[in-house]
Amino acid sequence: MSSRTIFAAAVAAGILIGAPFAGADTRDALREGVRNPSSGNAERETQVIAKTGKDTYGTRQSNLGDGGGAIYGCRSSLDTSSGAAIGDPKKSTPCVRVNNLSSGKAFDFQAKSGRLVGVIQSGNNLLTPKPTVAPFVTNATGVAAGLNADRVDSLSASEIIAQAVQAVQSAGGAGAACPANTTLVGGGCIENAPRAAATYAAASSACGGAGRRLVPPDVLLNARTVAGIELGGGEMSADVTADAVGALGLGGVTQGYATVSEAGDVETNPLTATAPFRCITT
């Protein structure tokens, strides 16, 4: 290597070391451990553009000590003029926005150990309830595994029903609690005799008109053990589920309602098919 080449390399290295991140507009370097800029405010976005592969990121911030990795603060406001405005970053700009422009995840939160993964806090004190504040809103209505609530005041749905039934029975017994020609089963009063076969829409309308509803399949299964109730070959339940059907030979998917028989068989019928049914008080 010639002396001229060595000198050129040394000059280039000195420039890079002296200004590791040079702003395209201001030409100011980002300085470690101090405020950037030293006074005033930046008035344009500082962009870091990368093109990396999987498990590699455009930037990485890490702290090897006991402190945090990053903190972001802002003073943006919330536009509550409409639901769309709340979700529009141009009208309600969030402090942090993560936008996956492809089909992958937008975020991951992970804690390696410990009993708490994170906190969503409104106001200055976590111990101060905020009953008028929502932690977040979403248009995703699918069930989130692990977040599907099944307990209220540490009681499951079945435990709440059992306590309610016990309270009713203690107050006057099953006969006193239920209307005529019905029997207490699964927390509600189920009709003793089935009604004439009907489609799901007609049956649901008939029960609604009586101030009642179709019987859930688990209650029908329990009713098989109650004296005087006979389900026969199958009665309509309240549950609607997907029924795989070869529509025109193309393997389409339609909706159907579940039926429960005296033998305990649970099958699916098209919504337009008829079956006997009962109603239950709510």
Centre a 10 Å sphere on the Cβ of residue 237 and count the other Cβ atoms it contains.
24
As a whole number, mean pLDDT of residues 222-240 equals 92
As a whole number, mean pLDDT of residues 226-248 equals 78
Task: Band the pLDDT of 262: cuts 50, 70, 90.
Answer: very high
Task: Band the pLDDT of 3: cuts 50, 70, 90.
Answer: very low
Higher pLDDT, 89 or 168: 89
How far apart CA 159 and CA 149 sit, in angstroms, is 14
Rounded to the nearest integer, the mean pLDDT of the chain is 82
Decide if 279 contacts 213 (C-beta within 8 A). Answer: yes
Centre a 10 Å sphere on the Cβ of residue 86 and count the other Cβ atoms it contains.
13
Q: What is the pLDDT of residues 20-39, one digit of tens each?
A: 444 444 567 888 899 988 88
As a whole number, mean pLDDT of residues 87-102 equals 93
As a whole number, mean pLDDT of residues 107-114 equals 91
Residue 223: what pLDDT? 92
Give the containing element (helix H, strand E) for 256.
strand 253-260
As a whole number, mean pLDDT of residues 178-207 equals 93
As a whole number, mean pLDDT of residues 57-69 equals 92
Structure tokens at 229: 């109730």
Alpha helices in the chain (DSSP H): 3-18, 83-87, 157-177, 200-209, 217-223
Residue 150: what pLDDT? 65
217-223 — which CB contacts under 8 Å span 24+ positions? 217/258, 217/260, 217/266, 218/186, 219/185, 219/186, 219/187, 219/188, 219/190, 219/280, 220/260, 220/278, 221/260, 221/264, 221/266, 222/185, 222/186, 223/183, 223/185, 223/186, 223/190
Residue 91: what pLDDT? 94
Domains and CATH numbers, the chain: 156-281 (3.10.100.10)
CA of residue 107 relative to chain centroid, distance: 15
User: pTM, whole model, 2 decimals?
Assistant: 0.46
Amino acid at 127: L
Does the pLDDT at position 171 exceed 70?
A: no
Residue 254: what pLDDT? 66
Residue 58: what pLDDT? 92
DSSP state of 241: E
As a whole number, mean pLDDT of residues 201-206 equals 96
Does the pLDDT at position 179 exceed 80?
A: yes
Q: Phi/psi at 243 (nearest 5 deg)?
A: -120, 110
Residue 141: what pLDDT? 82
Q: Identify which of 221, 222, 197 has the alpha carbon closest to the alpha carbon of residue 278.
A: 197
As a whole number, mean pLDDT of residues 160-179 equals 65
Share of the chain above pLDDT 90, in %: 51
CA distances in angstroms from 209 to 24, 189, 205, 214, 282, listed in the order given? 71, 16, 6, 11, 13
